[in-house]
Chain A
Amino acid sequence: GAVVSQHPSWVICKSGTSVKIECRSLDFQATTMFWYRQFPKQSLMLMATSNEGSKATYEQGVEKDKFLINHASLTLSTLTVTSAHPEDSSFYICSARDDRGRGATEAFFGQGTRLTVV
């Protein structure tokens, strides 16, 4: 099956620093990837859609300059949380759509990254 890998699985950083999270599709190409955020005991909220070779599309209320997304290749998207603060502490999850799929297809999820800002 299709595998999506996120790195790191968890990270602790100091307030004011930046953190980069990687999302890789291991055995398929993904022009489109998605980034979600999950607060404790809450649902996943779509943050942005990452498109290879073009700018990401952010959901309403998500700060573009705060959450930088780069999708430089068909197998890698990165999310950088800039100048992180404790309120950015959360579980960040990516998903990727297999380019081989036609029409409506599912996206495959990574295992998530637990970010703690101290």
Chain B
Amino acid sequence: AQSVSQHNHHVILSEAASLELGCNYSYGGTVNLFWYVQYPGQHLQLLLKYFSGDPLVKGIKGFEAEFIKSKFSFNLRKPSVQWSDTAEYFCAVNSGGGADGLTFGKGTHLIIQP
């Protein structure tokens, strides 16, 4: 069975600070990896995804993530956060074939202080 662990449940940063949110997964086979963002009162939006190829993935809104297979990790990064990045962030995984539903981490609540 797959599992996803997000290390930080709550993160508070000031604007312009750099961000890194940790995500580790547990699964023995090929995986697809995702980061989603959920703004207050809104639905899930895909930030970025990794299926194969270059392990450094660039997404929307200046976010990027790096897949490190040896560490089973897919950490999310942003060099300079903005107040509008305040949201809930979810890491998710499914098996390599892509036909399965997603297994989500518990989420990280990010608060950016002006």
Contact = CB atoms under 8 A, between A and B. Distances in A.
Interface centre among A45, A49, A93, A107 (most CB of B within 10 A): A107
Interface string A28-48: 000010101000001111100
A105 interface: yes
Contacts, number: 50
Interface residues of B, number: 23
Interface of B: 32, 34, 36, 42-44, 46, 49, 51-52, 90, 96-107
A109 B96 contact: no
Contacts of B101: 34, 36, 46, 49, 95, 107
A106 B96 contact: no
Nearest to B106: A43
Contact of B90 (A44, A104, A106, A110): A44
A93 B90 contact: no
Interface of A: 32, 34, 36, 42-46, 49, 93, 95, 97, 101, 103-107, 109-112
A111 B103 contact: no
Main secondary structure on B side of the interface with A = loop
A107 B101 CA distance: 9
A4 to B, nearest CB: 9
Contacts of B34: 106
Contact of A34 (B43, B90, B102): B102
B43 A111 contact: yes
B98 A103 contact: yes
A-B interface, 4 closest residue pairs, ranked by CB to CB distance from nearest: A104-B98, A111-B43, A46-B101, A34-B101
A46 B99 contact: no
